[in-house]
Amino acid sequence: MGPNDHTHGSRPVRVLYVDDFEPERVLLAHRVAGSHIQLTTAPDIDSAIDALHADRYDLVVTDLHLGEGRSGIDLIDACKGGGLHAGPVAVLTGESDVVRLQPLIDSGAAAVLTKPIDAGAFPSIVEQLIGVETASQPDVPSASVLIEALPIAARALEISIQRGDAATATRVLRDLASSAGSFGFTSIARLAEQAVGCWQHGQTDAACDASLGVIGAIDAALAFHARAA
């Protein structure tokens, strides 16, 4: 039976998600819990290859930039060249330039998805890529789903500020702006959007101050959650 030959109501849809950014892995894993998607996450290419040696997956979703000078294209090459994965591979990227994206398609990517990924829409994305319904959708998530990812995001943001790493800070903030509002953390989402604007316009001092404001809002949200627990 081929990778796309199973139907609705059969075994879970197995997805390998590769991303070096821990908050995104944590958030997506929580979001699909309870759906028909069985998600395995990996932080780098070597871990992804180990997972592909160990199990069969219906779909691989990988970030384009995976650190240490490696990319999603390298993972596609490993999948296809080594016979590790015959199914589709989708690549996540924040880039939109057609010229820069063409190599992804040429390398064999089944789809190029825009980052940050919409965790709520992920089951539908999987369905479109493999042509299989993901059965029952998870319930609308509560704020507790984001709680585990918030400290990780705050730590990554602190390190980015210390290093003056605008690219990573912007990535963290964009993820927060996208996900926090969906879980009811509107103040965090609003502050994150403001901080992204500062980083994008090269306003380093203002960006650092705004980013520290996001961290403060995260700390307040976590403190409130702890008191309410």
Q: Which of 107-111, 114-118, 145-149 has the highest mean pLDDT?
A: 107-111
The span from the CA of 185 to the CA of 120, in Å, is: 16
Confidence of residue 137 (pLDDT cuts 50, 70, 90): very low
What percent of the chain stands above pLDDT 70? Answer: 85
Q: How far is CA 178 from CA 9, 62, 126, 199, in A?
A: 31, 19, 20, 17
Whole-number mean pLDDT of the chain? 81
Q: What are phi and psi of 95, to 5 degrees?
A: -80, 150
Q: Which residue has the tokens 């990812």?
A: 149
Is the whole-model pTM more than 0.75? no
What DSSP element (H or E) covers 91?
A: strand 89-93
Q: Which residue has the tokens 């063409």?
A: 102
**pLDDT tens profile 116-132:** 777 677 888 888 888 76
110: region left, alpha or beta (phi > 0 left; psi from -120 to 50 alpha): alpha
Query: Would you state the pLDDT for residue 177?
Result: 83
Q: What are phi and psi of 23, to 5 degrees?
A: -55, -35
Confidence of residue 145 (pLDDT cuts 50, 70, 90): low
- Whether residue 68 is predicted with pLDDT greater than 50 in this model: the reply is yes
How much is the average pLDDT of 11-22?
Answer: 89
Query: Would you state the pLDDT for residue 109?
Result: 84
The span from the CA of 129 to the CA of 38, in Å, is: 15
- Whether residue 79 is predicted with pLDDT greater than 60 in this model: the reply is yes
Identify the residue with better confidence: 84 or 5: 84
